[in-house]
A and B are shown apart, each in its own frame.
Chain A
Amino acid sequence: MILLAASLIFYAWGEPVYVIIMLFSICMNYWVGRWIAFASEYGKVILGLGVFLNLSLLFYFKYINFFLVNVRAIFPWDFPIPSGSLPLGISFFTFQAMTYLIDLERKKFSPQNNIFHLALYISLFPQLIAGPIVRYHHIEKQITNRSVTLEKFTEGVRRFIVGFSKKILIANTFGKVADEIFAMPAQELTTVLVIFAVIAYTFQIYFDFSAYSDMAIGLGRMFGFHFYENFNYPYISKSIREFWRRWHISFSSFLRDYLYIPLGGSKGGKAKTYRNLIIVFFLCGLWHGAGWTFIIWGLYFGFFLILERMFLGRLLAKSPSFLSWLYTITVVMISWLIFRAENLGQVFNMLDALFAGRYSPVYEKYSRDIFLQICLIFGIIGSTPFFKDKILESSNRYMQVGRDLFLSLVFIVSLSFLAAGTYNPFIYFRF
């Protein structure tokens, strides 16, 4: 009950009005879940209704504006577009609630009879705003029966500090560079600047989003929960297919289990597989934001996944590892350019500048920034399992002492950067 109250207060602090939406979602999913369990012969119909209600909520708050703007642009109708803000974490808690209903209908577990327990599952504060999307059956038992040990708590503290410092020291540092360059007028962009912007944003988005997951997993561990990993070093992938197995795992596995496989997956022949991939990645892009850049970003990945299924995958498997990695990281980095751009015009401007071969002395300010260079080194190493294998999970006792002293120091440094910095929210807060 204390955790539930803390979670709702936490949400209400950020969204004093929209907390009502959260409470509505909890009640609705609780009753729909009970209905599915008691009228199992109509389970699919009731599930359909539950999914419809959840998606309607999401559509109204996240997509109605985008939808109406496009309708007005296509048809000669003039009507006002409602304005409103997006409730924090709505994409995450809505999807989390849907996994509860779908898995319940699939009879993976019994319905939760205690509404407060279900409320805790949907609103649990560590991962409420930006994931990971936790499945009900993963933490069903932990809701009522979990233990907090010294070992788990220490692990949680370590994981939290790692996430906190990743966000404050690395993601924010790269974020400044990316923000500066993405805000520049098109005529001032040069090849080097666009490369800098893309590299900076590539690090920013990974260290920002994975930092939030680290902090969520760490906080969860401190309270006795065990959340699944959300990232597995995606930038070492050697194909786009592998990348999506390592990036935002809770979301990509959601798409696989609740969309791709129900659509038929890869079992209906090549054409159907490609169609399914396009649908899945179209919706993947749309989930990230109500904008054409996000949709194109999703379809861009769908396109490369189809290519890999057609022939590229076999070619990559035979290629030297470095070449496969280079292909993957290049595709991913260009995808982040599309993802970060404000609109399609900016995407074209930046791509144009990327291949224009223009020179600008501005890049010197980045190449001379020692702190940025330190972050780059940590960014590169932190994108590989090196830290985890050699330092964070080292079995050497002295290494463990050194690691914890280092983490304490990094925590102090991160707090000082937090104190000196301005408000800088996580990127995935807006999804």
Chain B
Amino acid sequence: MIAAINKYFLISFFLGLLFIIPVTGFITPDKEISKAENRALQPFPHLSDNNLKSFTKRFDLYLNDHFGFREIFIKIYLRIHDVVSPPMTLGFKAVTGKNNWLYYEDSVENYEGKTEEKKINRFIDELAVFRKSISPEIPVFIIIVPNKAFIYEENLPGYVQRSSQRFETVEKMKRIKDVFVLDLYDDLKQEKKPTYMRYDTHWNGWGAYIAYRNIISFINEKLGWRLQIKTDIKNIETIPDYKGDIANLSGKAEGLLSRNNKVVFRSPNARTTEKKYPVEKGRALSDYTNQKGQTTVFLIHDSFAEKRLGENGAETFYYIISYYLNIFWHYDAKDARQDFEKARQQIRDVEPDIIVIELVDRHIQ
């Protein structure tokens, strides 16, 4: 009896699924976008190009995108992935976290404290040497931008273990003579609105604004200045989740990003002065001007700064010299020394009021 019920159950289950899945797919209206995957779905193909083979292939893709209960199956798949937390299914640069959050591989390694202490110490030494070589009258600020992994650690894969190495490194930086160190971790961590993007390593417009506001307050506090903070926050862009450099880098943009919304790094919205301050190819040297402030800042940064001081900062500073540093991409003590040397020459030319060095956690490794 049990054996017979068992057989009927299995057959009914199998044939039921085989029947219900395609029928439901055909009778329900086609969707254009899959919310679970955030991508455009294959439309129904037409035979207009007289290519029968391509039609059957496109029809297969259409069926694959529109069969019944597909969204439920996708959710089951994502749930399973959340449970087993595969560390890297998308490519060598990306780590897939829970709820489909993407993280840079090196930022996760940074979160886990895998950077050699020797490397960190050498980097801090180079910063100290750089500081020493600058006129003591020019204040130097080091702004530490936390990795997304620290701010949205709840979405990291289950296997990833938090390390205190990052916080110890910040403390070491604070011990460098004659520098003001601001760690943005607390300010961003306690912010309730989203500050980073799901498929991107960067903060969104709101995260950038929070950072800018805190940097200006910090500078005012340390120097006794009264730099104005931009108050109009209505137009601050919050980049939606469906944009992302990690998704692009990991080769999964087609799957995760809407086809019309692939992110492209935007250049700073100001004129460049490459003729005046030539730098290596691909390293943009830009300046931002306005007529409101009187202060010139020499900003050493990476792509994070493009939103913060590029747009918001132009309201505050008179002149921002934006210097894109090589060491942020491939840190090496020799490269750092060469880059700092170039920066020093330009600082001598510009004579800025202050120097701001922006460091993202994952650069310090």
On A, residues with C-beta under 8 Å from B are 13-17, 150-151, 153-154, 157-158, 160-161, 176, 180, 362, 365, 368-372, 374, 397, 400-401, 404, 407-408, 411-413, 415-420, 422-423
- In the docked arrangement, what's the CA distance between A370 and B56, Å? 37
Q: In the bound complex, do residue B11 and residue A17 qualify as a contact, i.e. CB atoms below 8 Å apart?
A: no
A365 — which chain B residues lie within 8 A by C-beta? 87-88, 92, 105
Given contacts A16-B53, A420-B78, contact A371 B84 (CB under 8 A): yes
Decide: A371 and B13 in contact? CB cutoff 8 A.
no
Q: Which one of A14, A404, A407, A419 lies within 8 Å of B70 (CB-CB)?
A: A419
Q: A16-B56, A416-B73 are in contact. Are A370 and B85 (CB under 8 A)?
A: yes
- Which chain B residue lies CB-closest to A407? B10
Q: Are A16 and B80 in contact (CB under 8 A)?
A: no
Report chain A residues within 8 Å CB of B73. 412, 415-416, 418-420
| Other A-B pairs, 11, CB within 8 Å; known A374-B84, A400-B2, A416-B76 | A15-B53, A17-B52, A158-B10, A371-B81, A401-B6, A404-B10, A408-B10, A412-B73, A413-B80, A418-B73, A420-B78
CA distance A362 to B9 in the complex (A): 45
B86 within 8 A of A: yes
Decide if B74 touches A420 in the complex (CB within 8 Å). Answer: yes
B26 at the interface (CB under 8 A from A): no
Which residue on B lies nearest to A161, using beta carbons?
A: B14
Among A158, A372, A423, the residue within 8 A (CB) of B86 is A372
A374 to B78, CA, bound (A): 17
Binary interface encoding of chain B residues 304-345 relative to chain A, with 1 for a CB under 8 A from any of its CBs, else 0: 000000000000000000000000000000000000000000
In the complex, whether B132 has a CB less than 8 A from a CB of chain A is: no
Where the two chains meet, the residues of B that have a C-beta atom closer than 8 Å to any C-beta of A are 2-4, 6-11, 13-14, 17, 21, 37, 52-53, 56, 60-61, 64, 67, 70, 73-74, 76-78, 80-81, 84-89, 92, 105, 159, 255
Report the separation of the CA atoms of residues A372 and B89 in the bound assembly, to the nearest whole angstrom.
10
A161 CB to nearest chain B CB (Å): 7
* CB atoms of B159 and A154 under 8 A apart: no
**Which residue of chain A is the closest to B21 with respect to CB atoms?**
A415
Check A419/B10 contact, CB under 8 A, given A369-B87, A370-B86: no
Residues of A within 8 A of B52 (CB): 16-17
Separation of A423 and B52 alpha carbons in the complex (Å)? 19
B99 to chain A, nearest CB (A): 15
B84 contact set on A, CB distance < 8 A:
370-371, 374
Tell me the complex Cα distance, A176–B80, Å.
17
Cβ contact within 8 Å between A368 and B159: yes
Task: Report the nearest B residue to A18, measured CB to CB.
Answer: B53
With A17-B52, A369-B87, A370-B85 already in contact, the answer to whether A154 and B11 are too (CB < 8 A) is yes
Nearest B residue to A15, CB-CB: B53
Q: Are B92 and A13 in contact (CB under 8 A)?
A: no
- A371: chain B residues at CB < 8 Å are 80-81, 84, 86
Kindly provide the distance from the CB of A123 to the nearest chain B CB, expressed in whole angstroms.
Answer: 17
Q: In the complex, what distance in Å separates the CA atom of A14 from the CA atom of B57?
A: 8
* A374 CA / B219 CA spacing, docked (Å): 53
Distance between A388 CB and nearest chain B CB, rounded to angstroms: 17
- Assembly CA distance A151 to B3 (angstroms): 10
Determine the distance from Cα of A176 to Cα of B251 in the docked complex, in whole angstroms. Answer: 14
Can you give 22 A-B contacts (C-beta < 8 A)?
Answer: A16-B52, A150-B11, A157-B10, A157-B11, A158-B10, A161-B14, A365-B87, A365-B88, A370-B84, A370-B85, A371-B80, A371-B81, A371-B84, A372-B86, A397-B3, A400-B2, A401-B2, A404-B9, A412-B73, A415-B73, A419-B64, A420-B77
Closest to A400 in B: B6
- Judge whether A362 and B92 touch: CB under 8 Å: yes
A364 shortest CB reach to chain B, Å:
8
Cβ contacts under 8 Å, A16 to chain B: 52-53, 56
Q: How far is the CB of B211 from chain A (nearest CB, A)?
A: 31
In whole Å, how far is A241's beta carbon from the nearest beta carbon of chain B? 39
Looking at B8, B11, B21, the one whose CB has the most chain A CB atoms below 10 A away is: B11
Give the distance in Å from the alpha carbon of A422 to the alpha carbon of B89 in the complex: 13
Considering the chains assembled together, what is the distance between the CA atoms of A422 and B39 in angstroms?
A: 13
CA distance A372 to B9 in the complex (A): 31
Q: CA separation between A14 and B8, bound complex, in Å?
A: 33
User: When the two chains form their complex, are residues B13 and A408 in contact, meaning their CB atoms are under 8 A apart?
Assistant: yes
| CB nearest to B92 among chain A residues | A362
User: Bound state CA distance, A326 and B231, in angstroms?
Assistant: 72
Query: Known contacts being A365-B87, A415-B73, A416-B73, is A423 close to B60, with CB within 8 Å?
Result: yes
Residues of B within 8 A of A416 (CB): 73-74, 76-77, 80
Closest Cβ of chain B: how far from A8's Cβ, in Å?
Answer: 14
Determine the residue in chain A with the shortest Cβ distance to B114: A361
Please judge, given known A-B contacts A16-B56, A369-B86, A370-B84, whether A411 and B77 are in contact too, CB under 8 Å.
Answer: no
Do A176 and B89 have beta carbons less than 8 Å apart? yes
Which residues of B have CB within 8 Å of A420?
A: 37, 73-74, 77-78
Please report the C-alpha to C-alpha distance between residue A401 and residue B7 in the assembled complex, in whole angstroms: 9
What residues of B have a CB within 8 angstroms of the CB of A369 in the complex?
86-89
A280 to B76, CA, bound (A): 48
Contacts of B78 in A (CB 8 A): 420
